[in-house]
Amino acid sequence: MLQTMKTRHDKLVRDRIPELLSGLHVPYEARTAINAELPALLLAKLDEEIGEYLAATDDQTRIEELVDVLEVIVGLGRLCGVDRDSLERYRARKAAERGAFEAGVVLISAGEDDQPGA
């Protein structure tokens, strides 16, 4: 009988992953994070998902990774006391005040040049 090695993850995963693993008859070990761990776990997950987005080679994979990034951002928002809708309201207000990133504006410089001897 072929034995496989257990892979250790110790990372935050989506809530239904244990259920999905059970459905596939994959043995697993999981626990619920304590609140004090969540900021670090979510930041590590954000780093992981951004890395996966950067490594993606096609649009469909990029979209899947952006969805994961968005879900982590929503989780980070919850730690700040806001839900998904509140984050969207904050985003929309900031976009109305300062714009979004749709036009592709690249700021080359701002302010005055330093004058020698001034």
Residue 109 forms part of a structural domain = no
Domain range enclosing 86: 34-98
Mean pLDDT of 31-52: 97
Residue 49 forms part of a structural domain = yes
Mean pLDDT of 59-66: 98
Residues whose CB is less than 8 angstroms from the CB of residue 71 and which lie 6 or more positions away in sequence, other chains included: 14
pLDDT at 85 over 90: yes
Residue 85 forms part of a structural domain = yes
The C-alpha atoms of residue 91 and residue 93 are separated, in whole angstroms, by 5
Residue 62 forms part of a structural domain = yes
Angle subtended by helix axes 38-55 and 59-79, to nearest 10: 160
Number of domains in the chain: 1
Residue 71 forms part of a structural domain = yes
Whole-model pTM over 0.85: no
Give the rounded percent of residues in the chain with a pLDDT score beyond 90: 86
Residue 39 forms part of a structural domain = yes
Residue 78: strand, helix, or coil: helix
Confidence label for 15 from pLDDT (cuts 50, 70 and 90): very high
